[in-house]
Structures are given as structure tokens and as C-alpha cells.
Structure 1
Amino acid sequence: MMETKPAAKFFEGEKWLVLTGLLGFLLAGLCALWIMLYGAEVSPEGDMSKAFSFNAALGIFLISTAAISPLSAMKARSRAFFRWSYIILALYSYFAENVQNFRGVNPRFVKDGSAFDIMVGSLFAFVALLLVLYYLFLAIQYFRRKAYNLRPELVLGIRYAMIATMLSFAAGIWISVNQGRFVGLHGNIIWLHGLGFHALQAVPLVAWLTERTELAASVRRRWIHLTGIAYLLGLAAIGWQTLLGSSIMEWSVLPLLACGCFLIAMASGAQMLLQSTKARHRQSFSGRS
């Protein structure tokens, strides 16, 4: 029989963090409407398409964080400190990204801007650093025994997701130091930056599916390890290709390796979905017998 466990309490107590994430989707929708009516470029340096992608990405990131935050085993006071700190930092990030692009100013790399623009850009860089540091505080919680004992498989998947997230943050810092996303002739750091964050959805999802299978605990963990390691190797290949100044779209060893790794991670998810579906059908059949 499949082990019975209490349902994972995703999002528990994180209404305000979820709403802050949904705000990102609302702002992304407004940016999309603006782009359809007036185009993306706002003279001299603004780009509403970048504001659109930033809003959507931050929204997904906040909602994903809200989902797994209850599984960190942090005390209520610590969770509240993280939650409200992150909400404040996210709100400022929305403000800087949208207002400055709307005003025709690059919010990160200000050129010939006013004192206000320089202040907003400098504070934006400081806020970005705080977002990394606060998230590192959250990530550490999942590597403690207390969190692991709550939901071993799920927390194991979250651990891999947190490592990938730190790689994404490192790529973000790389963009800042590099004064832009492009490296060499064709390298683009944004791919590493974006794909790393999507581990927050991908790897924990596979781990969640393993809990709903009839596989032995040791076998479940192997599938999660396979998924997490494949995802991290895919990110490493993308990072290396970018460092070489080459596009990840070209037909060469590193992009093909990255593609193969992500396909392995996807195949693991598909296999766990199949196994969990079979287990649910067996339980349903047994219940009717």
C-alpha cells in the first residue's frame, strides 16, 4: 500500500506573499497592454518589454516561494520576518522597474540620469543584494534536519531547487558586474538567470509526485536525486557555454549536454506522474472492492 501522509500545506500563512506575487502578474498585464498600444521602447533608455518580463518573473518567483515557505520549519516569527522583508523588497523592485522604464530610464544602468534616477538605481542594486541574502537565509532552513523530517522527499527536492536558485542569483550578480546580459559575441547570461529560478517549480514538483507513488522511500529519493542532479548539470552546461561567449542555441557539445540533462529531468517527472497515477488508480480500485 502507498504510505499515507498528511497533505503538504503549501501556501499556509502566506496570503500576503501570494498577493505580492499576483501583483507582478497584474503589472505584467498592464505592461503588455502598454506595449500593444504604444510599443515597448520609451525614449531614451526605457523598455517596457523588460518591465513586463521582470514583473512576470518576480511574480512567479514570489508565488513559488510562498508555496514552499511553510515547509522550511521556521518558527512563526522567523517566517514573518522573512515574509514582510521580502514583500517590502519586492514592492520596491516593482516600483523601480516599472516607473523608471515608463520614464525612459534604465533602472539598473543609469546613463546621464538625474540625481533621482541615480538614487533609485543605487537603491535598486542594494535591494537586489538584500533579496539574495534574505533568500540565502531561507535556503539554509531546508538543509536542516528539522525541515527534512517534515517531508523528506519534498524537502530533498527543495534543496536541489535552492542550489539552482543560488546559481540564478549568482548569474544576476554577474549581469550587474558585467553591466549587461551579453558576454562575448553571442553569450547571454539571462538564460542561466531565468532557468535556474524555474527549478523552484520543476524539482519540488517531481518530489511531490514521488510521495504519491508506491515506490520504496529509497527509490523515491533516487528519482529526486536524478532529477535534481540533471537539472543542475544542465545549468552548469549553460553557464559554461555563456562564459565562453557562445549562444546556447548553437549545435555544439555544451548546449546539447544541457538539452539532454533537462530532458532527463523532464523524463523523471513524467515517470513519477505515471507511477503516481497508477497508485491512485489502484487505491481507487481497492476502495470499490
Structure 2
Amino acid sequence: MRMRNHYIVETKPAVKFFEGEKWLVLTGLLGFLLAGVCALWIILYGGEVSPEGDLSKAFSFNAALGMFLLSTAAISPFSGMKAKSRAFFRWSYIILALYSYFAETVQNFRGVNPRFVQDGSAFDIGVGNGFAFVALLLVLYYLVLAIQYFRRKAYNLRSELVLGIRYAMIAIMLSFAAGIWISVNQGRLIGLHGNIIWLHGLGFHALQAVPLVAWLTERTSLTPTVRRRWIHLTGIAYLIGLLAIGWQTFLCNSIMEWSVLPILACGSFMIAIGGGALVLRQTRKAFHTQ
């Protein structure tokens, strides 16, 4: 609020990345710390822990969840949610994430597969069942968050950025669907050559890729219409790439083979990357002309 010509003028505070999300950020950083511990153990003693533990999986899980939480903390202020709703989401997600860290790390150190327990104790079965329930809650809570970005209130905060986040949210839902697919399939491998983990992992990276392009467009001298076109191009290309990978996996084929779907996926991701590179170039031009 400020005074101008004896009238009180209301000024709308700018929304910033990570604003109000200190504890979610710290929870994300904890994932990297745990991943570091797992990596050090693997270097010293190897990754496999008898009978079914695999610390390489704990390493990748902790790092991936940590990155996901940090990315979520970055965009959460632009959701348009009220303070109490954001706090409820934040602390619910922190609790769910802490349980996930515990289940993945401790159980693998104990030599137990935390997701698919075989011949385990009552404790191991309980942790595994709890892990499955927590995974479901992670999906449901995030779906509620995702919906917020498709509302006018969020769009009015930062239109280009929120547009990019919308595409990222669709990609994340595809990743969650792939995660459920892995659970139902009792593993990431399907058929002779299919591997669901590619769809599961690449979908989550949309949370960094597409909003980054949208953020860069804000720093160009392009018109709002042209900015949105670049964001649409990047988001649509990324989603087409994910769908191509998903369909190739559904056919039980490897995404590394030279066939139509993998080539389509590769081309789509190259378009998304190329769009980002061109927007970055426009950003540098705008910077040098200032």
C-alpha cells in the first residue's frame, strides 16, 4: 500500500518462487542427503543387500523425490491456493515424503524390497502396505494441487508461467499413471523389452523443463501471443513424446529400438529442447538490448 496524490493505492505483492515453502525445500534437500549416503555406501560396499535390497534403487528414488519436492516448492506459490490450503498440502506432503524416504532407504538397507515384499516379516509387510497407501495419497494430493493451476486465479498471477505449469501437471499425471502401472505389474519390466520406468521418470522432469521455458519467455521482448505459442509448442511436444514412449512400452517394446514410436518420441523431445534453446536466445537478445 502506498500514498499517491493523497489517495491510498493498493499494490499487489509480487509472487516469488519458493515463497513460504522453507520446510518443503528442506524436505527435498533431505532426499539429496539420503541419496548421498546411499551413493557413499554403494562406493564402499556395493549396492546389493541380501536377500532383496538394492541401494541403487534407494539412491535414485531419494534423489528423484528430492528433486520433485524442490520443484513443487518452487511453483507452489503460483497455485493461487489460500494460506491454510497450502499449509495443509505442504505438511501432508512432507509427512508422506518422510515415510517414503524411510521405507525406501531403511528397508533396502535391511535387504528388503519395500514395494514387493517376499517372505518378509509382519513389519516388512506392514511397511510395504503402508508404502502403497502413501503412494496413492501422493497422487491424490498432487491431483488437488494440479487442478489449482487450471483456475483463473492462478493464471492471473503469472499467465505465461502458469501456462507452462499446466502442461507440466498433465505430464506428471502421466507419470503417476505409470507408477500405478508399475505397482499393478509388480515391477518396471513388461514383456520382453518394455520398461515402464522411462515414462515414469521423464514425465516428472516436465516439472523442470516446461515451466523453465515459460519463465524464460517472460524475459524476452516477444509479444504475449508469441510467448504463449512457444510455451504451447514446448508443452505439446513434450506430451507427445511421453505418449509415444508410453505406447511403445505398452506394446512391450524397448524405446531404444529404431521404429516409429521411439523416433516420434525423440523428435518430439528435440522440438521441446529446440524451443527452449530459441527462447533462451531471445532472452539473451533482450538482455543485451537493455
TM-score category, normalised to shorter length: over 0.9
The correspondence of residues 19-168 of structure 1 with structure 2, limited to 5 A, is: 19-168=26-175
Distance 2:127 2:89 in 1: 23
Q: Identity, % of aligned pairs?
A: 85
Aligned to 1:172: 179
Unaligned runs of 5+ in 1: 284-289
Instruction: Tell me the TM-score normalised to structure 2 length.
Output: 0.95
The one-letter amino acid of 1:112's match is D
Aligned to 2:4: none
Distance 2:282 2:171 in 1: 26
Measured against aligned partners, the alpha-carbon deviations of 1:141-174 in whole angstroms (never above 9, x if no partner) come to: 0000000011110000000000000000000000
Distance 2:13 2:230 in 1: 21
Distance 2:15 2:267 in 1: 31
Which one of the candidate residues 242, 245, 254 is aligned to 1:247? 254
Distance 2:15 2:198 in 1: 31
Distance 2:49 2:253 in 1: 30
Measured against aligned partners, the alpha-carbon deviations of 1:216-262 in whole angstroms (never above 9, x if no partner) come to: 11111010000000000000000000001011111111111100000
Distance 1:173 1:215 in 2: 41
Distance 1:105 1:6 in 2: 50
Secondary structure at 1:198's aligned position in 2? helix
Distance 1:34 1:136 in 2: 35
Distance 2:13 2:215 in 1: 12
Distance 2:59 2:67 in 1: 13
Distance 2:31 2:20 in 1: 20
Backbone CA RMSD of aligned residues: 1.0
Aligned to 2:276: 269
Distance 1:6 1:248 in 2: 46
Distance 1:110 1:184 in 2: 22
Aligned to 1:202: 209
Structure 1 consecutive aligned stretches of length 4 or more whose deviation exceeds 4 Å: 5-8
The correspondence of residues 173-192 of structure 1 with structure 2, limited to 5 A, is: 173-192=180-199
Aligned to 1:215: 222
Instruction: Tell me the TM-score normalised to structure 1 length.
Output: 0.95
Deviation at 1:8, TM superposition (A): 5.3
The one-letter amino acid of 2:253's match is S
Deviation at 1:280, TM superposition (A): 1.1
Indicate how the Cα distance of structure 1 residues 239 and 60 shifts in structure 2: closer, same or farther if over 3 A, else same. same
Distance 1:18 1:90 in 2: 12
Measured against aligned partners, the alpha-carbon deviations of 1:1-39 in whole angstroms (never above 9, x if no partner) come to: xxxx98650000001000000000000000000001111
Aligned length: 279
Deviation at 1:54, TM superposition (A): 0.2
Distance 2:256 2:88 in 1: 42
